[in-house]
Amino acid sequence: MSFLQEAHHFNVEQLNINAGGAGRHYDSTNFRDVLSSNVSFEAMHDSSQRADAPKCHAETRTAVQEEIMGWIVHGDGDEQPTRIMWLTGPAGSGKTAIMGTIAETCEERDLLGASFFFSSYAGTASRCSKRFLIPTLAHQMISIEGYGQLGEKILASVERTPMVFKKRLKSQIEALVLKPLRQISASNATVARRVLIIDGLDEVSAETAQDIGRDEARQANEAEQVEILSTLLHAANDPSFPFRILIASRPERVIRGFFSSKKAKCGTRQLVLDNEYDPGADIALFLRSSFAEIRRRYNLPSSWASDDVVRTLVERASGQFIYAATVVRFLRSGTVPPHARLEYVLSLRHQGNPVNPFEPLDALYAFILNSSPNPVLAIQWVSVLEQHLTPDKIRSPRKLPRFVFAKQLLDEHPGQGDYLFENLSSLISVSSTEQESGPSYHLHHKSLVDFLLAPSRCGRTFYQAFSTAHNDLYLPRLAQILRTRSPLVPLDNSQYGYFVRGLLCLPVFRQSMESYIVWALERGGNHLLWDAHVAFLHFAAHDLVVASSCVVKLYSYFHSRCGPLPRDCSPTCRHWRSRILQSCRAFGWMVPTASDLFLQIVYVKMGGWIDICDHFWPPYRPVVPSPMLEYQPGWGTCDQEYEGYLAAAMAMYSKLSDDWETQFKAEVERGVRKDELYDRICRDVGQV
């Protein structure tokens, strides 16, 4: 059956449809290495990245620690034994410090099975991704003494199913943990009870969250948090699973809902960090110890930071350890002497509002932020760093550490970031290291972002600075860079290529350019988009794959509101597409042909989709175009070559019979694959 009308002497270019796929191939038979490549070593409790992580100060949080350790060691003797404990409390209540201390105690007493400390602010993408959780736990289980051949069984499972790391979490824990445990259980091996420690569950971030709106991102994050909890509960209910599971998180809605559900409630013990555990006494002990160290360091008199001062700060902390920790960091930082800084803290207005226990912390955050030479710009930097330049969102080349790329992207003049953050070291770690493992800008605590996202806490000015930084700083900075094809602070040639590759791998370009395109058009910025297009043509010399995909995104965007047929294209679409194709050809690119456009029409008409990235491809040796082709052509113009291109595609389409769509659907109903039908149409048209 032919889809064509009667036609003669009609020739078109040869059409090719390419399909392909790629899978991960392992050349090595060392399956421990295969497992290790999917492990987040930074998330383990004793990783070098957590060397400065908070721990419970000596003799603090003893009641909480005793209750947790009692459950770990003697929980089987409880009236209603549980396999999971959920430690929860508000931001800054000391959860991570407690979990870190418990992990160290359990390791010393041979009670630790494995640990994973999630963190969205640690500077490592793997520490906020669910993808690394199960492999990291399994990797640590290999080294547990007294568990027989568990390690061998885990590695054998990796050998059998090396693609398990691409599967859902429940499949991963079945393959990497539960099946090996069942095998050693069947061999009558007796294993001692140990504990898995998982901190910061509420900081799990979906890998897709970077490319969608805030509400959608929140829902995606919550879905992954629930998947983790469901997977852990599934494991805890398995008779062969010899571990208790200690989980810590904020009391977020979906996490509360999970632990309140019927399936989880009976097997979970909840421990809430509230006044029952007398946090005030622990905070006072921490402050006295810290003040004593500061006295020794600066030769201050014993009367400095008296008991009255400690009582005042404990009252203001309202049980939030983060307040006390921030005060201590503030006293230790900067060039102003500690005694003067303490006077600043004590002079902050405090209304004693019982409705808002964060009021003293808010006042302290506001005071410190206002010490920046430009508080609004500093907050905008924080917003961009936390929303767009976190490790899970940027993929800078190995030779360009993430923090170096962030400085290159945002610095308007040399050293601007260090200047803005100079007085903010009690809130933001500013490191001078150039190692990949050491990001220069790192928030000490997530509560700073919570503060800036709440106008009732931070004030309208700070809130607007944080919430509008995407449009007011990030996108304008990208536009400036695209216009000049260089960061505002010039780079030497050795760094330029790495910077370009880092730039092209930003989510705004790598995944979807729509936010940038819409922002530019709202500002009447056709010139902004032309600057971007020309920049991508030049950048192809450094990353041809991503640069060509950016060109395709622009090319596709302007046609997205048009009908499928060439005659449906708007003047805007004709203008942009004709000039994009013309400039690409001038740069030596391969571009779509009339046959490619015809095939795209057929796909779209039948509800399909075709990837046109393969139709745009830069030359392997860059071509230097005429300078005139780098300037935006007159608005509304469309060259004759493009009009001929549209006419040729329309002529091909006109050769299809009037009922070709009906025939197509009938063939599909008969079981013929759509790709076979597309191939047949292409052959028929090509033979006419």
Dist CA 271 CA 71 (whole Å):
11
Residue 7 has pLDDT above 60, yes or no: no
* pLDDT tops 60 at residue 19: no
Q: What is the pLDDT of residue 493?
A: 86
- H helices of 10-149, in order, are 31-36, 62-74, 95-108, 133-141
Q: Are residues 291 and 250 in the same domain?
A: no
Q: pLDDT of 396-443, one tens digit each?
A: 555 566 778 888 999 999 989 888 988 888 888 766 544 444 445 778
- Answer yes or no: do 379 and 492 share one domain: yes
Q: Is beta strand 441-443 parallel, antiparallel or unpaired with respect to 428-430? A: antiparallel
Please check the confidence at residue 137 and state whether its pLDDT lies above 50.
yes
Q: Are residues 173 and 249 in the same domain?
A: yes
User: Quick one: DSSP state of residue 485?
Assistant: T
Token duo for residue 443: 């928030």
- Phi (first) and psi of residue 166, to 5 degrees: -95, 0
Domain membership of residue 609 (yes or no) is no
Residue 579 forms part of a structural domain = no
- Categorise residue 415: left if φ over 0, alpha if ψ from -120 to 50, beta otherwise: left
Asked if residue 233 belongs to a domain, the reply is yes
Q: What is the pLDDT of residues 201-229, one digit of tens each?
A: 999 988 776 656 677 888 999 999 999 99
Residues 395 and 476 both lie in one domain: yes
More confident residue, 568 or 22: 568
Distances (CA, A) of 653 to 430, 494, 600, 607, 650: 61, 50, 11, 16, 5
pLDDT band at 5 (very low <50, low <70, confident <90, very high): low
Q: What is the mean pLDDT of residues 51-55?
A: 75
pLDDT of res. 631: 56
In-domain check, residue 118? yes
Q: Does residue 544 surpass a pLDDT of 50?
A: yes
pLDDT at 355 over 70: no
| pLDDT at site 245 | 97
Mean pLDDT of 170-192: 87
Q: Do the domain assignments include residue 660?
A: no
Residue 683 lies in a domain: no
Q: What is the CATH number of the domain that holds 177?
A: 3.40.50.300
Domain final position from 322, 351, 370? 370
Secondary structure (H, E, C), 44-78: CCCCHHHCCCCCCCCCCCHHHHHHHHHHHHHHHHC
Do 335 and 408 lie in a common domain? no
225 and 305 in one domain? no
Looking at residue 29, its pLDDT comes to 47
Q: Which token pair is 502?
A: 């880092």
**Mean pLDDT for the stretch of residues 188-206:** 86
Write out the residue range of the structural domain in which residue 388 sits. Answer: 374-499
**Spatial separation of the C-alpha atoms in residues 118 and 613, rounded to whole Å:** 37
Does the structure show a pLDDT above 80 at 581?
A: yes
DSSP 310-363: HHHHHHHHTT-HHHHHHHHHHHHSSSS-HHHHHHHHHHS-----TT-TTHHHHH
* 180 CB-near residues (< 8 Å, 6+ apart): 150, 153, 154, 156, 157
- What is the mean predicted confidence (pLDDT) over 639-650? 83
Q: Give 22's pLDDT tier (boundaries 50, 70, 90).
A: very low
State the burial class of residue 562 (Cβ atoms within 10 Å of its Cβ: 0-12, 13-18, 19+). middle
Q: 405 and 448 share a domain?
A: yes
pLDDT at 629 over 90: no
pLDDT band at 299 (very low <50, low <70, confident <90, very high): very high
Q: Residue 228 has what pLDDT?
A: 97
Query: Residue 134: what pLDDT?
Result: 97
Q: What is the pLDDT of residues 452-463, one digit of tens each?
A: 999 998 999 999
Based on the number of CB atoms within 10 Å of its own CB, is 670 exposed (0-12), middle (13-18) or buried (19 or more)?
exposed
Could you tell me which residue, 226 or 1, shows the higher pLDDT? 226
Mean pLDDT of the chain: 84
Same domain, 53 and 201: yes
CA distances from 330 to 340, 406, 449, 545 (A): 11, 25, 18, 47
Q: How many domains does the chain have?
A: 3
295 and 316, same domain (yes or no): yes
The distance from CA 392 to its chain's CA centroid, rounded to whole angstroms, is 3
**pLDDT score at 28:** 34
**Which one-letter amino acid corresponds to residue 582?**
Q
Per-residue pLDDT, 257: 94
Q: What percent of the chain has pLDDT over 90?
A: 38
Residue range 83-91: average pLDDT?
Answer: 90
Query: Per-residue pLDDT averaged across 124-150, rounded?
Result: 91
Is 386 domain-assigned?
yes
Q: Are residues 225 and 295 in the same domain?
A: no
Closest CA to 584 of 555, 559, 556: 555
Contact (Cβ atoms closer than 8 angstroms) between residue 434 and residue 509: no
| 366 and 386 both lie in a single domain | no
State pLDDT tens for residues 457-505. 899 999 999 999 999 999 999 999 999 999 999 998 888 988 998 899 8
Sole residue written with tokens 């608005």:
635
Q: Is the pLDDT score of 524 beyond 90? A: no
**CB-neighbour burial class of residue 261 (10 A; exposed 0-12, middle 13-18, buried 19+):** middle
Average pLDDT of span 442-447: 80
pTM attached to this predicted model: 0.70
Reply yes or no on whether the pLDDT at 87 is more than 90. yes
Q: What's the confidence (pLDDT) of residue 114? A: 97
Q: Is the pLDDT of residue 232 over 70?
A: yes
- For residue 349, tell me if it sits in a domain: yes
CB 368 within 8 A of CB 330: yes
Q: How confident is the model at residue 93 (pLDDT cuts 50, 70, 90)?
A: confident
Choose one of 482, 499, 516: the last residue of a domain: 499
User: Same structural domain for residues 390 and 433?
Assistant: yes
Q: Please tell me the least confidently modeled range out of 138-152, 386-400, 431-445, 545-559.
A: 431-445
Q: What angle do CA 594, 597, 599 make, to 5 degrees?
A: 110
Last residue of some domain: 434, 464, 499? 499
pLDDT value, residue 466 = 96
Distance CA 111, CA 69 (A): 10
Lowest-confidence pick of 4-13, 41-50, 270-279? 4-13
Of 65-79, 129-143, 440-454, 578-592, the one with minimum mean pLDDT is 440-454
Distance of alpha carbon 180 from alpha carbon 374, whole angstroms: 57
Rounded to the nearest angstrom, the gap between the alpha carbon of residue 210 and the centroid of all alpha carbons in its chain is 6
Residue 584 has pLDDT above 80, yes or no: yes
